[in-house]
Structure 1
Amino acid sequence: MSTHTLPTPDADRTSRLREALQSAAFTSDGLLDLLGAPAYAALARSETVPALRATRGDSALETLVRLFLLQATVPYERARASLPVEDCVADGWLVQHGDEVRASVDVRPYSGPEGQDWWIVSDLGCAVGGAAGIGAGTSEVTGVTGVDRSQLVLGVGGASTTLAGITVRAPVARALDLGTGSGVQALHAAQHATRVTATDVNPRALGFARLTLALSAAPAADLREGSLYDPVAGDEGFDLIVSNPPFVISPGPRLKYRDGGMGGDDLCRALVQRSADHLADGGYLQLLANWQHIEGEDWRERLASWVPGGCDAWIVQREVQDAAQYAELWLRDAGDHRGDPAEYAARYDAWLEEFEARKARAVGFGWITLRKSGAEHPSVIAEEWPHPVEQPLGPSVRGHFERQDFLRGTDDAALLAARFRLAGEVVQEQVGLPGAEDPEHVVLRQNRGMRRATRVDTVGAGFAGVCDGTLTAGRILDAIAQLVGEDPVLLRDRTPESIRLLVEQGFLDPAGDPAGDPEPDAAREV
């Protein structure tokens, strides 16, 4: 167990600390202005030398950076000029040693989606970069004694921001942050949920989440200790469940923030399979996950089999690593590459042995979103999309499921009677030989959201270009048939499948059913 005591903040003193941080511009924007983009980016990679060079002055902001981000000791009187230092020592944010003070926790500025100034509290050296950022026992960097490495709590990393960006941000009554860690997702959920419950198997994580919420002036969450859905057994369904779980597929549990203690990808499978019992009707489950690529199995079919009945699902694989790459990634995360070579080799071998026993040849990284639709024939889509996307992606995720509702409830006749709008910032590209009369093919490309590209024929391109919500799909096709000299009945028969694909991928959005119907002659203006 850890002997490291977390701060126990008083509400009034925490408010004074927050005001001091804001007054000194100890914010994301303030750090960027002080450090400059290269040093700021290096700090996000746990590289501190550029930031140390940029904070050799004695301003309040430089003092706070050295205290909370660089884990340096600071003269007591210098800290007094920047902070309510007596309050910070009394509550445990700072530890005094003679005429100097040091931070007991990492406090890292973090910007909210609407420009809010927030602060994420985590273990020293663990704001990003995994357990490699802190040593066992007494750290020469932090001076923290007795922290059990298996209990470490990380701050904000790329996984945290990815999940925050893809989460659907609609006002909800009840939200659950399952595996809260330092409380990043609970902090986001508190902005649009009436009640937030946050759980973690690590009691230290609950303590850090409490600090993050308090320092960021967010409503307190209902914090519960336990694994998976056990802490909320018997609760009414949640409108939103988010989870950045300990998804690493490892040969054994070493670090609670990443190793779930279940074999293979069983933890992520359990989160998905059991979610329907804890979701309200229409509720979303959104999580980051790793999954095995098993020899002889299609990963898409394997993950689709996890989805409980009555739930739509959208599974996106963002990256794939072979077994060796994957083992090396997480061995470095734990700092094993800096230790004894023989021990490193033994651990590396254990990872590969585990993968071989499970016939896992690679591991996929990505996100899984479920919505409890209650549909008799749910939409379950698993796809690979390694290309850049536009964050925040939450609106696009919500739009995906809304379009699935539309397509499921719309037969071909209704589809042709519907109106559509071309999604924003879709461009058309024509590919062909220079000087050729007609392009070899036409590509529609999104510059927003998933940033997809899809090949269409000239009819599909013409159809999409005219969709502005005014004419029905059938009227547009009739006009195109007249222009190209094609039988309109045959064109109507063969086009719905193409329209469905454009809607599913987000190139076209249903435009509702405006009152009245354009005059037949209007179609001739296409």
Structure 2
Amino acid sequence: MSTTSIPAPDHSPRLRAALLAADFTADGLLELLGAPAYAALARSETVPALRATRGDTPLATLVRLFLLQRPVPRERAEAALPLDVALADGWVVADGTGDSGAVRATVDVRPYGGPEGQDWFIVSDLGCSVGGAAGASGHEEGVVLGVGGASTTLAGLTVRTPVGSALDVGTGSGIQALHAAQHATRVTATDLNPRALGFTRLTLALSGAPAADLREGSLFAPVGEETYDLIVSNPPFVISPGARLTYRDGGMGGDDLCRTLVQQTGDHLNAGGYAHFLANWQHVEGEEWQDRLRSWVPRGCDAWIVQREVQDVTQYAELWLRDSGDHRSDPAAYAARYDAWLDEFEARGTKAVGFGWISLRKSGAAEPSIVIEEWPHSVEQPLGESVRAHFERQDYLRARDDAALLADHFVLASEVVQEQVGLPGAEDPEHVVLRQNRGMRRATKVDTVGAGFAGVCDGSLSAGRILDAIARLMGEDPVLLRDRTPRSIRLLVEEGFLEPATGVGAGSGTGTAGGTEPGAAG
């Protein structure tokens, strides 16, 4: 890893043209390396890629230089790059003497496929992006990480409707700002680390994206009282004893940084605006974790919070000690740091740490919708359209009492299938399951009424008339059935199994927020 001076962006268009001419793109890498070597990069294993780049093509040279970070002969670099420009601006440096010497990269340049097939490049410090699986593996304070699984997860969660203004808090290497630049008129990016702002400038310039308004400082301090239509942040959320590493430790105790970030967001969101975060939160003795997170939600905002994973304190400490390379240090030093983590958790009464997503929408509702759930199961990214549809469904449900709900017409979401579960040969199933094949991929058990209701929802009849027909078929009192069913209908609408026939909240789960790059987890 290196935290040397940052290259100048002055000749980025010429460098971009050279990279594209050599097919130094996500698709080009896959074709050159092959699927096994490409996948190995996700595991931080570079030997297969080194074997695949033994040739002297410009693409093989660029992969070795910027991706695998190996010196390459000067003549090969000259064939792949405008070398005079790359040397002058500091993208590469001489690694030897004379024309027969070699050159080496000063930064990691990683191809990244945009959601609409754009060829982008993420620039970061050396040693911080190969596979993304091994973290920074070091202790340098100003290090700037490249794109990894967390980055692509947040990009996929973000609602991608056109907006006037977007704010990326803690921009790092600039991937969120790059995505935002595609649908926001104005992008502001902040970071406490001035090196990160430099790398964001390079990422945007080398990707051919508009420049962002870059501001140095912590959280919302650099933007004063300004407000935005979209706010995104992949903050330094790691809960640790002391802030040794800027890229991951926020410098506040426990989960205070994530709490402060979420709580202050309400003051910086425009009406109807969205905010999206990745976060960690403590599970504390004597407190429900859902209540803890509910207290973070700012006034006037609806919230959808999803806990994706929970680790006990030993697992959590070991994860981040490995990430920083402490497991390869002196055993006594490692044990002391491990002990310090456990002391910190014990002092705070922390028994586990949760990881997940937080999405907010500035609704201004008197009774905001706050949905907090645990969902460790697989999902289909990108989820931005599913997030947008979730909040629109909350608006719809909030505006309708039971009588209005029964008067409305619904359709079964296009991606929903029905499964009947029971013993082989049985006349009737034990239960019926509705399952989504896209988005959150939810599944829910329904009774006979629920299955019959969902099965005939094609928008032609109101919910009340469907229930009346079901009551006649089952010999039930239609009044009683109308009284007890709206709650089940609300749940099916809230979770996206049913959609109002008017199209309100009708999201298919598809979107345009995703990206691809070697070594990015989903």
Q: TM-score, normalised by structure 2?
A: 0.93
Between the two structures, name the one with larger relative contact order (CA 8 Å, sep ≥ 6). 2
Partner of 2:61: 63
Provide the C-alpha distance between the structure 1 equivalents of 2:386 and 2:20, rounded to a whole number of angstroms: 33
The residue type paired with residue 22 of structure 2 is A
The residue type paired with residue 431 of structure 1 is V
Partner of 1:424: 414
Aligned mate of 1:121, from 123, 137, 140: 123
Provide the C-alpha distance between the structure 2 equivalents of 1:3 and 1:283, rounded to a whole number of angstroms: 36
Aligned mate of 1:488, from 478, 500, 506: 478
The residue type paired with residue 113 of structure 2 is S
The residue type paired with residue 54 of structure 1 is A
The 3-state SS of whatever aligns with 1:285 is strand
Query: Within the alignment, does 1:253 sit opposite 2:277 as a pair?
Result: no
The farther-off stretch of 54-63 and 37-46 is 37-46
Judge conservation of contact 2:43–2:133 (CA < 8 Å) in 1. Answer: no
Query: What are the equivalent positions in structure 2 for 1:409-488 lying under 5 Å apart?
Result: 409-488=399-478
Partner of 1:142: none
Aligned mate of 2:14, from 16, 25, 31: 16
Provide the C-alpha distance between the structure 1 equivalents of 2:203 and 2:503, rounded to a whole number of angstroms: 46
Query: Within the alignment, does 1:303 sit opposite 2:293 as a pair?
Result: yes
Question: Deviation at 1:436?
Answer: 2.1
Provide the C-alpha distance between the structure 2 equivalents of 1:419 and 1:233, rounded to a whole number of angstroms: 46
Partner of 2:81: 83
Judge conservation of contact 1:9–1:92 (CA < 8 Å) in 2. Answer: no
Question: Deviation at 1:475?
Answer: 1.5
Provide the C-alpha distance between the structure 1 equivalents of 2:425 and 2:86, rounded to a whole number of angstroms: 73
Provide the C-alpha distance between the structure 1 equivalents of 2:314 and 2:3, rounded to a whole number of angstroms: 36
Structure 2: runs of 5+ lacking an equivalent: 505-522
The farther-off stretch of 460-469 and 56-65 is 460-469
The 3-state SS of whatever aligns with 1:150 is coil
Query: Within the alignment, does 1:7 sit opposite 2:13 as a pair?
Result: no
Judge conservation of contact 2:3–2:142 (CA < 8 Å) in 1. Answer: no
Judge conservation of contact 1:108–1:119 (CA < 8 Å) in 2. Answer: yes
Provide the C-alpha distance between the structure 1 equivalents of 2:135 and 2:187, rounded to a whole number of angstroms: 31
Provide the C-alpha distance between the structure 2 equivalents of 1:498 and 1:430, rounded to a whole number of angstroms: 19
How many residues in Structure 1 have an aligned counterpart in Structure 2? 498
The residue type paired with residue 144 of structure 2 is V
Question: Deviation at 1:131?
Answer: 7.6
Partner of 2:112: 110
Partner of 1:497: 487
Judge conservation of contact 1:246–1:256 (CA < 8 Å) in 2. Answer: yes
Aligned mate of 1:151, from 136, 142, 148: 142
The farther-off stretch of 299-308 and 320-329 is 299-308
RMSD, aligned α-carbons: 1.4
The 3-state SS of whatever aligns with 2:378 is coil
Partner of 2:509: none
Partner of 1:163: 154
Provide the C-alpha distance between the structure 2 equivalents of 1:131 and 1:510, rounded to a whole number of angstroms: 46
Partner of 1:214: 205
In 2 relative to 1, CA 431–135 (structure 1 residues): closer, same or farther, beyond 3 Å?
closer
Query: Within the alignment, does 1:199 sit opposite 2:190 as a pair?
Result: yes
The residue type paired with residue 4 of structure 2 is H
Provide the C-alpha distance between the structure 1 equivalents of 2:15 and 2:336, rounded to a whole number of angstroms: 47
Provide the C-alpha distance between the structure 2 equivalents of 1:165 and 1:72, rounded to a whole number of angstroms: 32
Partner of 1:347: 337
Provide the C-alpha distance between the structure 2 equivalents of 1:132 and 1:186, rounded to a whole number of angstroms: 21
Q: TM-score, normalised by structure 1?
A: 0.93
The 3-state SS of whatever aligns with 1:303 is helix
Query: Within the alignment, does 1:325 sit opposite 2:323 as a pair?
Result: no
Question: Deviation at 1:485?
Answer: 2.0
Partner of 1:224: 215
Provide the C-alpha distance between the structure 2 equivalents of 1:130 and 1:353, rounded to a whole number of angstroms: 27
Judge conservation of contact 2:9–2:201 (CA < 8 Å) in 1. Answer: no
Partner of 1:54: 52
Aligned mate of 2:225, from 234, 257, 260: 234
Partner of 1:39: 37
The 3-state SS of whatever aligns with 1:247 is coil
The residue type paired with residue 110 of structure 1 is Y
Provide the C-alpha distance between the structure 1 equivalents of 2:314 and 2:263, rounded to a whole number of angstroms: 29
Question: Deviation at 1:133?
Answer: 4.8
Question: Deviation at 1:435?
Answer: 2.3
Provide the C-alpha distance between the structure 2 equivalents of 1:331 and 1:60, rounded to a whole number of angstroms: 38
Provide the C-alpha distance between the structure 1 equivalents of 2:211 and 2:265, rounded to a whole number of angstroms: 24
Question: Deviation at 1:490?
Answer: 1.5
> 1:292-336: per-residue Cα shift (whole Å, max 9, x none)?
000111100110011112111111000000000000000000001
In 2 relative to 1, CA 134–7 (structure 1 residues): closer, same or farther, beyond 3 Å?
farther
The residue type paired with residue 316 of structure 1 is V
Query: Within the alignment, does 1:379 sit opposite 2:369 as a pair?
Result: yes
Judge conservation of contact 2:472–2:478 (CA < 8 Å) in 1. Answer: yes
Partner of 1:100: 102
Question: Deviation at 1:364?
Answer: 0.2
Judge conservation of contact 2:128–2:144 (CA < 8 Å) in 1. Answer: yes
Provide the C-alpha distance between the structure 1 equivalents of 2:137 and 2:427, rounded to a whole number of angstroms: 64
Question: Deviation at 1:472?
Answer: 1.1
Structure 1: runs of 5+ lacking an equivalent: 137-148, 515-526
In 2 relative to 1, CA 463–76 (structure 1 residues): closer, same or farther, beyond 3 Å?
same
> 1:441-468: per-residue Cα shift (whole Å, max 9, x none)?
1110100110000010111111111112
Question: Deviation at 1:434?
Answer: 2.2
Partner of 1:359: 349
